[in-house]
Amino acid sequence: MSATPEARKRAEMTAKLDAVPAELAAWRAAAETPPLDKHQSQIRRITTRVETLAGQIRDDLDNAGDGLLGEWTKFELLILDLHHLWDFFRAKFALRYPPWLRDPLIAADELVWACYSPAQRAAIESGGVEPAAVREPPLTFFGIDSTPTALSRHSVYERRGDANRLYTEEFAGELRSLPVPVIAMPWHQIGHLPDLLLLAHETGHHVEDDFGLTEDLRAAAVAGLTASPDPDWWLPRLGETFADVYGVLGGGAAYVGALAGFLAAPVATLATEPAARNYPNSALRIRVALAALELTCPEDPRAASPFAPGDHALSRFDGDVTPLVESLLTYRFPVFGGVSLTEVLSFRSLWKQAAIDAVNLADEQRRLEGGNPRGLIAAAALRFADDPEDYERSKAGPRTVAEVLAVQTAGPRFRGGGRPGPNLDEVDRAAALAQYHRLAEAG
């Protein structure tokens, strides 16, 4: 006896939908072992949400009754949207498989985690964040952006997630609310390790977002700008200013050098450059980074930097820089238990070893002695700044990446290596269900 068209269509839709949880289970299993074991908590949380959404579609499909032939295209588009949503992260995890892509991504992930985890730990230990609200470690990936870019988990993902191309409204909001922050890196950074230090700046954006620092940063800025000719000028640019300060806390003098290289331009161009809507101009950004270096690593000879810019179009704000930076560094943040940024993260204990390893990198026979990815990558950047030709000759970049991989600790990156428990599974299921029902009712 031949099956009815409706029965065939129902079997087809069911098979297409069932492929989603089957694939998600395979990714969770793969995260038990290298190369994805470091991403265990990220994969678990994302797949839990996507699988919950798939379950909701399955319930609706089962309840479609005899009218399925008239609405099966709706279910097919929902399934495609589900794949679109998951693919935003699936493609990034897949980059961890080819070794020639995996190794530089590990170096990037380790650097970002070394800059991010001290803030997460301080907030957890002080009770500044609820356990269920603890964010996942940031995920780095290569993309077509020309500069590193932080996309916060509650920010707008549309441009990179192509949410405008989703077939249905159900998942546009979910793409913006997934619980993992990401940092896009230009593909060309795969060939130039020193640029990874710019990720410390992007990590600063996630720290501000994840731990709710914006109002405290404004309070610190207001306190530090009492003598400013125009304190309000800094406020819309405060997020980028803080991120440069955080970059110095993460990478020390090497971050200043990487920033100066990133902003390099003819003197005449720098002298006339205006400010952008959200950024100070390049001269002020470098002055901010130098001030942070001088205040946090005063013993480092590189704090007396040749990068200091001359007169520029916004020189009237030069006098604001040191008091503003000092106020940001000394402000007591409630979310971190009332301690300052320098008590959360600092390069002061690492700069000497980074300087030693910068020298060690000049000789292929010498081993690197530092065990911190921040110090190791800073050493490579210092070696490049001192002698770009020798940096290439001595294979400083590949040797540094190899050392970062060698000192990498085993296990996932989450609350010191723990796996998210059932409470977070419940949080993610509830979030996905609420999202689906809200949008379904609105539609």
Q: What are the Cα distances from residue 410, in Å, to 263, 416, 418?
A: 36, 11, 11
Contact by Cβ (8 Å): 41, 420: yes
Q: Which residue carries 């399934």 as its tokens? A: 79
pLDDT at position 156, please? 40
How large a percentage of the chain has pLDDT more than 90?
A: 70
Per mean pLDDT, which range of 24-38, 165-179, 280-294, 359-373 is the poorest? 165-179
The confidence band for 306, taking pLDDT boundaries of 50, 70 and 90, is: low
Q: How far apart are CA 261 and CA 244, in angstroms?
A: 14
Q: Check whether 65 has a pLDDT greater than 80.
A: no
Q: How far apart are CA 74 and CA 179, in angstroms?
A: 27
pLDDT at position 158, please? 45
237: left (phi over 0), alpha (psi -120 to 50) or beta: alpha
- Three-state secondary structure readout of the chain: CCCCHHHHHHHHHHHHHHHHHHHHHHHHHHCCCCCCHHHHHHHHHHHHHHHHHHHHHHHHHHCCHHHHHHHHHHHHHHHHHHHHHHHHHHHHHHCCCCHHHHHHHHHHHHHHHHHHHHHHHHHHHHCCCCHHHCCCCCEEEEECCCCCEEECCCCCCHHHHCHHHCCCHHHHHHHHHCCCCEEEEEHHHHHCHHHHHHHHHHHHHHHHHHCCCHHHHHHHHHHHCCCCCCHHHCHHHHHHHHHHHHHHHHHHHHHHHHHHHHCCCCHHHHHHCCCCCCCCCHHHHHHHHHHHHHHHCCCCHHHCCCCCCCCCCCHHHHHHHHHHHHHHHHCCEHHHCCECHHHHCCCCCCHHHHHHHHHHCCCCCCCCCCCCHHHHHHHHHHHHHHCHHHHHHCCHHHHHHHHHHHHCCCCCCCHHHCCCCHHHHHHHHHHHHHHHHHHHHHC
Average pLDDT, the chain: 89
Instruction: Kindly list the domain boundaries of the chain, sorted by start residue.
Output: 5-194+413-442, 213-344, 351-407
> Distance from CA of residue 134 to its chain's centroid?
15
411: left (phi over 0), alpha (psi -120 to 50) or beta: left
Q: Check whether 216 has a pLDDT greater than 60.
A: yes
Contact by Cβ (8 Å): 163, 157: yes
Average pLDDT value for residue range 137-159: 71
pLDDT at position 145, please? 77
pLDDT at position 176, please? 53
Q: Check whether 173 has a pLDDT greater than 70.
A: no
Residues in Cβ contact with 429 at an 8 Å cutoff, skipping those fewer than 6 apart: 48, 49, 52
> Distance from CA of residue 202 to its chain's centroid?
6
Q: How far apart are CA 147 and CA 184, in angstroms?
A: 8
Indicate the pairing of strand 139-143 with strand 182-186.
parallel
Q: Check whether 432 has a pLDDT greater than 90.
A: no
Q: Check whether 256 has a pLDDT greater than 50.
A: yes
Q: How far apart are CA 176 and CA 287, in angstroms?
A: 35
Per mean pLDDT, which range of 107-116, 394-403, 433-442 is the poorest? 433-442
The confidence band for 164, taking pLDDT boundaries of 50, 70 and 90, is: very low
- 145 vs 218, which has greater pLDDT? 218
Q: How far apart are CA 403 and CA 94, in angstroms?
A: 23
pTM: 0.90
